[in-house]
Every structure is written in structure tokens, then in C-alpha cells.
A and B are shown apart, each in its own frame.
Chain A
Amino acid sequence: MREVFDAAMELDSPERPNFLAQSCEGDDEIRHEVESLLAAHVEGDHLVGRVVGEAAEKAASPLRVGTNLGPYKVIAPIGEGGMGSVYLAERSDQAFQMQVAIKVVRGGLDSVRALERFQEERRILATLDHVNIARVIDGGSTEDGLPYLVMEHVPGQTIDRYCELKYSPIRDRVLLFRKICDAVDHAHRQLIVHRDIKPANVLVTDDGVPKLLDFGIAKLLEGESAFGGLTGTGLRLMTPDYASPEQIRGEPVTTATDVHALGILLYELLTGRHPFSKKTHTPRELEAAVLDRDPDSPSTAVTQGDGEFDPVAASSTRATSPAALRKELAGDLDNIIMKALSKEPERRYPSAAELSADLGRFLEGHPVTARPSTFTYRAEKFLKRNVIGVTIAAAFFATIVTAGIVSIRAYIRADRMRVEAETQRDRLGEINSFLARTFEAASPKMRQSPEEITAREILDAGAARLETDLKDRPEIAAALQTEIGRRYYDLGLYDRAEELHRAAVAGYRSTGGLATPEGGTALTYLGGTLEAQGKLDEAATTLQEAVKLSRPFTGTDIAVNLEARQLLAKICVARGDYDNARDLYDSLLAELDRTPDLNDPDHAARLSSVPNDFGLLLERLGDYEEAERQMRHALEMAVAAHGEEHSVVGQCWANLAFILNRAGRQEEGVECARQALAIQEVALGEDHLQVAVSRLSLADALAGIGEVDEAERHYPRVLEVFRETYGENHHRIGTVLNNAAIALLNQGEPERARPKFEQAAAIYAQAFGAEHQYTAIAQHNIARALHQAGRLGEAEKSCKETLALRRRIFEGDHPDIGRSEILLGNILRDGGSPENALPHFREAVRIGRGELAPGHPVRLGAERALARCLTNLAGYDEAEQLFLGIQAVIDSTRGPDSDQAHGAAEDLASLKEMREKQN
């Protein structure tokens, strides 16, 4: 048998059947065996090597199943790769379950500094918040010192498999691919480059939502300080299949690198073949092809069958025929893909968004911008060393210049761009050349490492050069400092933002430019940054100065003044200084009334947000009547600006519903929420986030009027959209769970409600920290559920903990502390010790009377609880006074026929009865 097989292998395949027939004459068994082995023979078969290699990887795996990493418990290995090992894990604390993927970095990081850098980058990655990007949730290092990342777990198929299994036609594939472009563009706007886009990194969930994995991870794991002596070998860490020419050459990686990888991905999705794999067998040959060979155009590639590619099979998985597939790809799609695959980064699409836009034009039948390349076009070679300037600058400009300076304020834009177009162009020119120099300075030639540049590094380099380079143009330096500071702020790097804004303010101050719209903006941003850092005192001083010097501004420049005051109002709210917040909103509203430009949608949207914010503050204070008035005002303005059917209008309706719910007018709340939902569904589509927000208001209102069945149908839909948008453990998920559980509690189902409250508490604790207002709310509700279930011992303990927590969180009095006092009092009273409950009720009443409107539920509830407790303890006179006061408030706010009014009357009646019995 061996001899026959070996001899057959030496022959060309067409000769083998004859040979077998001769040499195995009469022995069918041997013949079948050899035939079957010949069929199993594959040239260059790596199967055995792969199985052994994978097993070796697993044997060297750093984590065992069952290990705990922080709150996560490793459940199973998912995959091993060049970068590290990936595990499925779940959050193992509390009652709530969440699955995550944990990626452990191979090789470790060899210094504290390297680990710090890893953590810093990780935090930047965590700022990526996009429905098509798998989120980075957490990170740390294992006991062995190996750094790891915790990421959103995406169950699903790789995008290529997903499309093959679904027999997706070309248009569906393009639609799906465009979502990936959106995700990439989102990241580019944060100056984060993926640099390892490939089908294995794009998973599609069963619902058809594509998710890009491992954003920026490639870089994170290769960071230069991580492996001191090994820089320059970075590229060798990745497979060359999806590498760009500049990556192979070891040149800087830019946003254009991702566009190239997207081009390869699209090529594969549409044709079923890799653009460079033809006639390449080794990684080296592949690299050469990526560098020098123009791939076949997609429409050509799908017609040329060979041993590995079958045109009929490829077209049938695309629900079409070979000829029709060729025709569909020829022209626009060919041009678009080939443009994305240009060897020179500057010839590709400048951004993923533009690639996507061209595909959009193709889908709609409009002319696309990509053109077939001509000889002269090809012959053009741009200055290669400027690659980075051209490409990253495009991203940098997208965020800083267009989104920044040009629209520093929507207000400023309209006028300024018209009147000062010339000046502005000059300034942009100056800024442009400054940026070019910055990129050069940050470029690998000037640095120790040839690795790519991070957003942070660009900002750092820019910030460092500003003072020297633009010494003679201090006003431009200050403008750039303001914008760079703004980017730091967006990245959550408040300390750096503060530095830059301080420098900008100092620059404006020294040139006497502080009293200009730009100077005022710098001051306002400094104030906003300080506010974000919690340095409320200095923030307030700064903003007050901004308010003062921007006061003389005219026309739309007054926006600076308004923004500073809005921030001041925010600080007041944060400090619990509701009086001043109220004054600020009052004066802002008065000011806005005088601003003429009501017709400009930008302005109107802004105008309506002031009464909107004010209305929400008033709601917190329990002044529901005024809150409602403000919200209706906001609604009116929004309708005037946008018409009835705009989503901003829908939002106002939703907020109005919220206020009415809180005021105890849930029937009206339901109507408003239905209105909001109807508008939002039309304006935004059924699954939009804002729609879900309106739906949540509706569900809350429905639960409030006892329509629990309908409410329970809405909560899961809200949850679904929120989960899709935010991932599993976003604080808003906590809110939905919390509210849904309150509906259950109101229905008398505390044991069903409690696990949901516990989940909400865990989510809040993760999102905001344990010492946070929201975490405390969910914990308070756990205590309520325990109380309602009659588990008084546990309830008392839990409630006391929450009360202590709230006292730590809020410096002074706060309605939430009042809520805890009332609940604790109720628990003690039901435990048979009204005399111990009494001081808690008194404290709650004191808090309620300090700040809150008479109709506020905390104030009213505290007074009522105190009065009832006094009745039990025979303190009739004081109780009667309280009940009478309550009755008066209810009569005026809810009307003498309301349920609450009847309740108050009953309280008084039973007091009278008790007193008579006593006598």
C-alpha cells in the first residue's frame, strides 16, 4: 500500500487513476485506501502543525478556568493568538451576571512605567463608546504581573462567515460594512487607530449587529516601552495578510492604515478572495505583493477560478450568478475598493467616513468620488515623509479644526465665517503649518520608537511646541491651547486640560485678548474643566470672571456668556445651592428672551435647553408646578424652532412626562409619554436610543397608574436598546432595572423586585463607584424591598448602611437623606418601637422643610409619617397640627377630591378616634 501511494504521489494527478487500476488489480481494498489517502492529501498541509501549535499555546496559557481576576471569574478559554490569550469570564460578585472577554497580554510589561502607560491607553480606549465597537470595560494585571483587558463579550460569527452563511447579496454586505466604517470613523475622531482590522476582529451578532473587536489593542500590546529592545519588530507580531504597505515598511501607522485594511476586508467580503493571496505562499511573498503588486480588480477576481476559488460557489453565496456578480462589482465598487487599497496612504480615502460616504453614493445610485487610476495619477508620488502630516492631520483637523475652531460655538460660526472668512483662512493656514511641524516632531524619526503615535502623544507634542513655535503669534497659540485642552478634556485627562486652558487664559490675558469671544471661551472652558475636577470654588471664580468680561459681547457672541452662566448654574446645583441656581436660570431665561435669533435652529435648540434644564432642577426641588411651566415653555420653543415632529420636541414631551409622573399626575404623564414616543419613533426610527428613553418614561408612568402589564412589556424593549447601545453594564441599564423593579414593588412583589435592585446597584457601583448617589438609590430600594417583604432585621441593617453612605456622599441636607430617614423610621416602627422611629421622622421633616416645596413627596411623606407615629405615641396635638397642614397642601396641589386628599381626611378621622378612646 505504501509503495502504491508513494509511487502515485510522484505522478501528475490525471495519470493516477490509470496507475492505480494497474497496480492494484484485483485488490479493491488497497485501491480504495490509496484513493482515500490521495484525496486527503493537501499540498503544504498545516493541519497537524496547527493542532500541535494550538495545544502548545493552550498549555502555556496564563489563566486557568475558575481563576478569579478582580470581580471576574474565568469560565473558559476562547482563543489564543499572537498577542495573548482570550478567556470568557463572568462577573462573579453580587447577584448579577455579566459575561465578558478577558484578554491577557502575552509577555508582560517589564516596568512600572510600561504598566502605567498600558493603563493610560486602556482608559483612552475605554472612552470609545459606539454601538459597533466592543467596549473596553476594565483592566488590570494578574498575580503574575501580566496585564489584562476586560472587554465586552460578543457572541457571534466573524463577518465573512456570517455573510457566507446568510448568502448575503452584495448590497447587504456593503450595508453591513458601512457600519464598520462608522465605528472606525468614530475611533479616528478620538485619534485612536485600530491597526489590526481583519475578519477575525469583526463579529456579527445573531441580530446582525457588527462589532469591531480589539480597537487599538494591537498598539497597546506593542507599546514601545513594553519590550525595550524589540522595537521595530512590532510588525512581525501581526499577520501580514491585512497589513498595509506602510506597516510592512515599518513606517508610522495612521488612520489611512485602517482605511487600507478596510479595503482588504471589503474586497474579501464582496469577492470571497484575498486581494494579495494569489500566487503568494509565504509571508514574505505576501509582503512583497502588498508593497508592489496592484491586486486584480474585484470584478476580475470573481471570474477567475483556480484550485482555491470557485466563481460559481462564490456567486451563489452572494445570491447571484458569476456574470451578474462581475457586473455588480465592475465600475463603482472596483474603483472604491481600489482607491482604499492605494499603496500611498494619501491616495486612499482620507477617512473611513469618506469611504462609507462613497459606498452610500453607490447604494443610492449617485456618482462616486473614486475614479479609476490613470497613468499620471499613478505616477504622482507625494512626499512620502509627509504621510503622517497628511493623514493624521486629516483626522486631527476633523476633530480639532472643523469640530473645534470653526464651530467653537455654533453661535459664532454663522457670523464669523461670513464676515471674517479671510482672516479665518489665514489663521487656518497658520494652524495647519503648525500642526505639520508638530507631527514631524512627533514622527518616529525624532523619537526613540518607530511605533505609531497616540492621540495623547500628538496632543503632548502639540502642547509642548506651542510655546516655542508660536511665540510671535500668541493669540493663535492660545486658540490652539484652547482646542488641545478641549481634546484632553474629552479624553478625561482633566489635569492636562487644566494646564492648557490655564496657559491659553494666561496668553489671552497677557495680550489683552481675554475680553474677546475667544478669550472668554478659554476662560469658560477652564471653568468647565475645574468643575469636572470637582474644584468647584475655583471653577466658580473663573466662570464668574468669564461671565463678567463677556457681558458686553453683542450679537451671537453672547453665547460665551450664556455658556459660562449655564456652567455656573450647574455648579450651584452640584453644591446644593438651589437658590442661586434658580436665580441664574431666571436671568438666563430673561436674557434669552431678548436674543432675537429665534429662527436659527442652532439657537432655538440652545434656547429651549435652558428652560428644560431649569425645569429639571425645579423637579428636584419638588416645585412641580413651576417645573411643568418651564418644561412646557421649552416645549413651545422647541416646536417654534423645529416644528411639531422633531426629536427635540419629543424629548421635551418625555421630560414633561417625567415631571408629571413625579408630581403624581401619572395619567397625564402617560399621555405625554405616548406623545413623545410617537414623535420619536417617526423622527428617529423604532430602535433609536431617544425612543427608548421616551418608552422608559411611558413605562414608569404606566406603572404609576397601575397599568403594570403594559409597563412590563415596555421595560424589556428599553433594556434591549440600551444594552445594544451601551453594553451590559452601563448606568442607564441600572436605571431601567431599578424602575422596572419599582413597578414590581408597587405591585406588592418585593421578592421579584429585589434581585433587579441588586443588579442595578452592582451596575451603578461599577459605573460610578460605591460612594455614589445612584448606587445609594438602588441600595435604598433594596432596603425598601426587604422592608416590604417583612424581613425587618435585614431591612434595618441595609437601610442604616445606605443612610451612612448618603451622609458621606452629600455634605449637607439632601432629600435622599430624608428618604433614608423616613424608611428607617418606618422599619423601626413596624418592628414595634415607634419611640425609636420618632427621631428619624423628625430629622426627615427638618430636611424637608429646609429646602423643599411643601408638595415635595419627601417633605409631605416625612410630615405624614411623623404625624402617624405621634398618633401612636399619643402626641395628639402635634399630630393634628401636622395632619391639618398636610391636608391644606394636598387640597391646593392635588385638589380636595384626590385620593391623597381622602387619605389625609382618613388620617385626621383616625386621630380623632384614638384621642377619644384615650380620654
Chain B
Amino acid sequence: MVPDQSVTVLLRAWRGGDSRALDDLLPLVYQELRSLASRYFRGERPGHTLQPTALVHEAFIRLVSGDVAWNDRAHFFAIAARTMRRILVDHAREHGAAKRGGGWMRTTLDEGLAIEGAPPLEILDLDRALDRLTEQDPRAARAVELHYFGGLSYEETAEVIEISAATVDRDLRIARAWLRRALTSDDDRDNN
């Protein structure tokens, strides 16, 4: 598929200060990522745990032409990472509604989840914790979004945030500890 010029153009416009360009950009990226995700399941590469990494990179190749300026590329990844987070949260919300339908269903689910041998940590909990982290340490939270939701490497993350890779390493280190504490402490989850 020939990359759609419009995305490149929109990215450039956004960088140039046109905030409406972002409004046009987001649905395109959202659409592309969603359809990639569903095709991913159906078609190719059986057996791999689906990771956003490949999707975001693939979306980039499909949506943005190759000769784009590096900071447009960085912006694209930033958008894609944010979009991916939204897709996952949206989906969890849709499903959450069905899941929390009744006590009986809940029990059954818990039994089933025992198969995985881990407590059912929800993406929604992570999303909320990440929001709180953003209040305290916005740069670390952004690194988490880019690295984990956008699938960017430390170097790419560093490039987008315009800091050193070593700093990304440190940001992610404290962010992981912070998020683990937030996700595994019972008090915190009850507040949700």
C-alpha cells in the first residue's frame, strides 16, 4: 500500500502549529492501528504475543511516507503511542461492562483467570495510575507511554522526548517501581 500523503502533510501542519491538524490525524491513526490489530490476530504470525511495538511501526510504514522529517516521525510515534493506549483502554471499558454484570459471572471469571496464575491486573488500573504519575513526573509517564504503548526502543523514546537514552533508562526505572507500587497495593486499587 502506498503511504497516504495526507498523514505526512498533517504531521507537518501540526508541527507548524496547526492544532486542528491533530484532530484530523488522530482518527486516521486510530483506524489504522485498530484494523492492524484485528488483522494481526486473523492472519499472520501465529504464536507471538501481540505487542504494540510491531503495530505502531507497521502503522508508521503504512501511513507515513519514508522521507519524512525526523521530528515528524517522532510526533507520529507520540501520537501512535497515545492512540494505542486509548484503543486498549476503550476496549477494556467495552469488555468491562460485560464482565461486571453480576456476582456469578465474576466468580466464574476469577476461576478462569487462575489458569494464568496471576491476579487480574487491568489495563484500566494501569491507565489511572499512569495519569497520577503524569501529575508527579510527566516526563517519566511519557517515557512509559512511548516505550510500552508505542513500542519505541529506549533510543527512539529518547529521540522523541529529546533527552538522553540514559535518562530514559532512569525515568523508566522509577516509573516501573512507582507503577508496580500503585498496581499491587490493595489500598490503591480499592480507591479506583
Given contacts A60-B38, A79-B112, contact A49 B148 (CB under 8 A): yes
CA distance A774 to B89 in the complex (A): 50
How would residues 742 to 781 of chain A score, 1 for a CB under 8 Å from any chain B CB and 0 otherwise? 0000000000000000000000000000000000000000
CA distance A226 to B46 in the complex (A): 10
Size class of the A contact interface (CB-based, 8 Å) = 35 or more
| One of B1-9, B20-28, B168-176 at the interface | B168-176
Chain B positions 68 through 105: 1 when the CB is less than 8 Å from some CB of chain A, otherwise 0: 00000000000000001001110110010011000001
For chain B, the bracket of interface size reads 35 or more
Which among B59-67, B153-161, B177-185 touches the partner chain? B177-185
Which of A38-46, A612-620, A786-794 binds B? Answer: A38-46
When the two chains form their complex, are residues B181 and A40 in contact, meaning their CB atoms are under 8 A apart?
yes
Count: A-B pairs, CB below 8 Å: 171
Query: Cβ of B50 < 8 Å from any Cβ of A?
Result: yes
Assess the B115–A82 pair: CB atoms within 8 A.
no
Q: Which residues of B contact A62 (CB under 8 A)?
A: 41-42
Q: Flag whether A417 is at the interface (Cβ < 8 A).
A: no
Chain B residues with CB under 8 Å of A48's CB are 126, 144, 148, 175-176, 179-180
Q: Is A919 an interface residue (CB 8 A)?
A: no
- Bound CA span A205–B178, Å: 37
Residue contact A65 to B148, C-beta cutoff 8 Å: no
The reply to whether B98 and A78 contact each other, CB–CB distance below 8 Å, is: no
Complex contact A5–B174 (CB within 8 A): yes
CB within 8 Å of A: which B36-63 residues: 37-38, 40-52, 55
Q: Determine if B178 and A40 form an interchain contact, defined as CB atoms under 8 angstroms apart.
A: yes
CB distance from B137 to the nearest CB of A (A): 7
Q: Are B181 and A36 in contact (CB under 8 A)?
A: yes
> Would you give the shortest CB distance from A62 to chain B, in whole angstroms?
6
Q: Are B116 and A79 in contact (CB under 8 A)?
A: yes
Knowing A47-B183, A82-B49, say if A37 contacts B38 (CB, 8 Å): no
In the assembled complex, the Cα of A105 lies from the Cα of B43 at a distance in Å of: 11
> Chain B's nearest CB lies how many Å from the CB of A507?
44
Interface membership of A157, Cβ < 8 A: yes
Interface stretch of the complex, out of A50-58, A485-493, A637-645:
A50-58
Interface status of A61 (Cβ within 8 A of chain B):
yes
**A225-258, CB < 8 A from B:** 226-227, 230, 233, 236-238
What are the residues of chain B within 8 A of A79 when measuring CB–CB? 112-113, 115-116
Inter-chain contact B51/A53, CB cutoff 8 Å: yes
Interface string of A53-75 (1 = CB under 8 A from B): 11111111110011000000001
Least CB distance from A90 to B in Å reads 10
Within 8 Å of chain B (Cβ to Cβ): is A809? no
**B37 — which chain A residues lie within 8 A by C-beta?**
56, 59-60
Asked if B95 and A77 make an inter-chain contact with CB atoms under 8 angstroms apart, the answer reads yes
B112 and chain A: residue at smallest CB distance = A78
Is there contact, CB below 8 Å, between B43 and A107?
Answer: yes
Residues in chain A near residue B114, CB distance under 8 A: 156-158, 161
Complex CA–CA separation, A332 to B46 (angstroms): 42
Q: Closest chain A residue to B91 by CB distance?
A: A59
Inter-subunit contact B117/A158 (CB<8 Å): yes
User: B46 is contacted by which of A199, A203, A227 (Cβ under 8 Å)?
Assistant: A227
List the A side residues contacting B52 at CB < 8 Å.
52, 56
* Inter-chain contact A37/B116, CB cutoff 8 Å: no
Known contacts A60-B37, A106-B46, A158-B115: A45-B87 contact under CB 8 Å: no
Q: How far is the CA of A666 from the CA of B173 in the complex (A)?
A: 78
Q: Tell me, rounded to whole Å, the shortest Cβ–Cβ distance linking A264 to chain B.
A: 16
Residues of B132-155 contacting chain A, CB below 8 A: 137, 144, 148-149
Residue numbers in A under 8 Å from B115 (CB-CB): 78-79, 86, 158, 200, 203
Closest CB in chain A relative to B85 CB, distance in Å:
8
CB distance from B16 to the nearest CB of A (A): 32
Q: Would A37 and B181 count as touching, CB distance under 8 A?
A: yes
Task: Please judge, given known A-B contacts A9-B173, A47-B183, A65-B95, whether A107 and B112 are in contact too, CB under 8 Å.
Answer: no
CB closest chain-A residue, reference B55: A56
A802 to B114, CA, bound (A): 45
Return chain B residues, CB-CB under 8 Å to A99.
108
Contact between A45 and B108, CB atoms less than 8 A apart:
no
A224 to chain B, nearest CB (A): 13
Docked CA distance A326–B120 (Å):
35
Residue numbers in B under 8 Å from A59 (CB-CB)? 37, 87-88, 91-92
Q: Quick check: B123 and A47 within 8 Å, CB to CB?
A: no
* Residues A89-134 near B (CB distance < 8 A): 99, 105-108
Alpha-carbon gap, A56 to B37, bound state (A): 8
Minimum CB–CB distance for B3 against chain A, Å: 23
- Minimum CB–CB distance from B45 to chain A (whole Å) comes to 7
Residues of chain A within 8 A (CB-CB) of B108 are: 75-76, 88, 99, 155
A38 to B115, CA, bound (A): 31
Known contacts A51-B183, A82-B48, A107-B46, A60 near B112 by CB under 8 Å: no
Please give me the 7 A-B residue pairs with the lowest Cβ-Cβ distance, nearest first: A237-B47, A107-B46, A55-B123, A78-B112, A40-B181, A59-B91, A41-B177
Q: List 11 A-B contacts (CB under 8 A).
A: A9-B173, A41-B180, A45-B177, A48-B179, A54-B123, A56-B50, A56-B52, A158-B114, A158-B117, A161-B117, A200-B116
Q: A55-B89, A58-B92, A78-B109 are in contact. List 14 more A-B contacts (CB 8 A).
A: A37-B174, A41-B176, A45-B177, A48-B175, A51-B125, A58-B95, A59-B92, A76-B108, A78-B112, A79-B113, A82-B46, A86-B112, A200-B115, A233-B47
